[in-house]
Amino acid sequence: MVSAEVAKGLQDLEDSSAPQQDKPAGYQKVLDQILSSTASTQDQTSDLEAFIDAILGENLGIVAARPLLGAAVESIKGLPDLELRIKAGTTALRSLESRVASFEEQDAQLREMLADAYTLQEEYIEAAKVLQGIQLESSQRRVPDDHKVSIWIRICRLYLEEDDTTSAESYLNRAKNLRHKVNNPELVLGFQLSEARILDASRKFLEASQAYHSFSFSTVLEEEERTRALSSAIVCAVLAGAGPLRSRALAKLYKDERAPQVPEFGILEKMFLDRLLSPEEVKKFSESLSPHQLATTSDGSTVLAKAVVEHNLLGVSRLYDNIGVDELASLLGLDADKAEGYAARMLEQGRIAGSIDQIDRLILFEGTANGVERGGSEQRRATNGKGLRKWDTRVQGVAEELERVASMIQLQHPVCHNP
């Protein structure tokens, strides 16, 4: 409830016949009175709301009202109670709604203050929505490109806190259009981190790993933040689909001299060396993952489970020339149909090389997949038709080379025969 003194002071100014140029001083006196009051925070909030309503009325000109409104916004920002700060700020926004074109600067200050309060209460969607109302493209005031980008990146990061990647990406794309005009290193880093998080949340784990890894080299960041970014890069690389591209990403991370310092190094090393992962290791690793990284995929498995099965299948292809479908299922911890389905999909996508013999229920692995050599001797590869053709070609080559050497010896040391 508005205090009697403040209500009387505002009414006197409204009824006063004093010249317009003298009224701002009167309103400033009322504001000082509110700020110096010993009343409760709730009463002070009510007084500020009444004050804002008064200066936005017809009794005071726009030019005179702007600095007074700015001072009132600063006063609301200083309220210790977050709920009252939000209540006063929301009331002020409603009062400004019909005249926002005349008070765009003050409206922006008010919205940024409200966004800070909502963020402290972890109401990220509300904070993002209130920031969206800021007029960044206006003929009334010039907004620097850096400030535009900072607002868009802030909205993007607020949506990411709630895993709303669609909304976050739309604001990141706005910032992307002005990125070349931004010279502030902190904004550039904010953009890079937001981009990496969107790729991560969208399950584009390979691209996210590369973005996090690049981010981890920034000298502007604290050592702890760089280490956290490196950990995120490793996690995303582990979750990426098995294949040559992921193998290259794992190799790059494994060779990073900082990698042994992070908890995820153990699983990184096993994946890089194509060793099979045990259920206990997978369970321990899953405890550090974010909710979206544990989400269920279209086939009913989690992102992590799918990545581990594909990795173990790739590891099996390095160890064996051929394996029965039932034995493969046992190694992967799946039923036979699912194991065969995973193998068929990876063969079709070129992530492993080979074929499936459905009559004998065998999976036959070949030497390369997308140009990446598989372990194993030439003699072992000859277990399928293609391997036999390669073996025959090499035998023929050795025979031809032997014949060429014999001919050269005969030329160098001819043998005379008696007639």
Q: How does residue 93 score in pLDDT terms, banded at 50, 70 and 90? A: confident
Give the H/E segment covering residue 355.
strand 354-357
pLDDT at 238 over 70: yes
Return d(Cα 41, Cα 39) in angstroms, integer: 7
Contact 346, 332 (CB under 8 A): no
Predicted pLDDT of residue 301: 76
Residue 401's CB is within 10 A of a number of other CB atoms, namely 10
Return d(Cα 55, Cα 48) in angstroms, integer: 11
95 Cβ contact partners less than 8 Å away, ≥ 6 residues apart: 52, 53, 56
* Helix 145-161, helix 165-177: angle, nearest 10: 170
Predicted pLDDT of residue 21: 62
97 Cβ contact partners less than 8 Å away, ≥ 6 residues apart: none
CA–CA distances in Å: residue 112 to residues 129, 133, 178:
11, 10, 21
Helix (H, G, I), strand (E, B) or coil at 39: coil
- What percent of the chain has a predicted confidence (pLDDT) above 90? 21
Cα angle for residues 117, 197, 112 (degrees, 5° grid):
20
Chain-wide mean pLDDT for the chain?
A: 81
Return d(Cα 263, Cα 277) in angstroms, integer: 16
**Across the chain, how many H-helices and E-strands are there?**
20, 5
Q: For the residues 7-35, what does the mean pLDDT come to? A: 68
Q: How does residue 130 score in pLDDT terms, banded at 50, 70 and 90? A: very high
> Of the ranges 27-31, 316-320, 348-352, 391-395, which one carries the lowest mean pLDDT score?
27-31
Helix (H, G, I), strand (E, B) or coil at 74: helix
Q: How does residue 376 score in pLDDT terms, banded at 50, 70 and 90? A: very low
Stated pTM of the model: 0.68
pLDDT at 352 over 70: yes
Contact 230, 260 (CB under 8 A): no
pLDDT at 370 over 60: no
Helix (H, G, I), strand (E, B) or coil at 114: helix
HSE value, Cβ hemisphere, 13 Å, CA-based, for 153: 25
Please give the biggest Cα pair distance in the chain. 146
- The 362-365 sheet, strands edge to edge: 322-324, 362-365, 354-357
Contact 28, 21 (CB under 8 A): no
Contact 374, 365 (CB under 8 A): yes
Predicted pLDDT of residue 141: 78
Q: Which has more pLDDT, 340 or 58? A: 340
